[in-house]
């Protein structure tokens, strides 16, 4: 359950940015969550309600974009989206450990007033 600490850190970054803009309320937070980030979106949603209570983000909407895994095959020099947990290059069948997307835990934008 590190989603609570992830969400607390997200709220911290969001609040800091909102306050820098002179805002006193956060209406919406948008995040990008990688499939291979180890974070469970449902747990983030739950944590969001808990950590935002009594803050300037109370009642805000959390939107999450799930980022699929993209790997790179150094042999074929191509990027590919693996269909399963085994990151096998569709051209040469070699297994790749070069993950170029899918690990993101990012705050991308806010709606504030």
Partner 1 sequence: MCGNCGCSELGDLPIHTHHQPEHSKNEKIRSLTITQSILSKNDRLAERNRNYFLAKGLLVLNILSSPGSGKTALIERTITERTTEMAEDASAIASSLQDRLKVGVVVGDLETDNDAKRLRSTGASAIQITTGGVCHLEAEMVLQASQNLNLDLIDLLIIENVGNLVCPAAYDLGESLRVVLLSVTEGEDKPLKYPTMFKSADVIIVNKIDIAEAVEFDREQALTNIQKIAPEATIFEVSARTGVGMEAWYDYLEEKMHKGFSHKGFSTEDASRSQTDIA
Query: In the complex, what is the shortest distance from the CB of residue 37 to partner 1, in angstroms, rounded to a whole number?
Result: 7
Among 13, 64, 70, 76, binds partner 1 (CB under 8 A): 13
Per-residue exposure over 1-20, b if at least 16 CB sit within 10 Å of its own CB, e if not: eebeebbeebbeebbeebee
Q: Decide: is 15 part of the binding site for partner 1 (CB under 8 A).
A: no
Phi, psi (degrees; rounded to nearest 5) at 47: -65, -35
Q: Decide: is 39 part of the binding site for partner 1 (CB under 8 A).
A: yes
77-96 positions binding partner 1, by CB under 8 A: 85-86, 95-96
Cβ(30)–Cβ(65) below 8 Å: yes
Q: Decide: is 64 part of the binding site for partner 1 (CB under 8 A).
A: no
How are beta strands 99-101 and 70-73 bridged, if at all? antiparallel
Q: Which residues bind partner 1 (CB under 8 A)?
A: 1-2, 5-6, 9-10, 13-14, 17-18, 20-21, 23, 27, 36-39, 85-86, 95-97, 99, 103-113
């Amino acid at each position: 359950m590190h989603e609570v600490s992830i969400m607390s850190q997200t709220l911290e970054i969001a609040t800091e940015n909102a306050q820098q803009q002179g805002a006193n309320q956060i209406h919406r937070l948008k995040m990008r969550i990688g499939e291979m980030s180890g974070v469970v979106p449902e747990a983030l949603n739950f944590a969001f309600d808990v950590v935002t209570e009594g803050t300037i983000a109370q009642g805000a909407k959390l939107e999450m974009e799930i980022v699929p895994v993209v790997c790179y095959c150094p042999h074929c020099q191509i990027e590919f989206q693996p269909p399963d947990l085994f990151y096998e290059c569709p051209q040469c069948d070699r297994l790749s450990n070069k993950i170029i997307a899918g690990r993101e835990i990012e705050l991308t934008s806010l709606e504030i007033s």
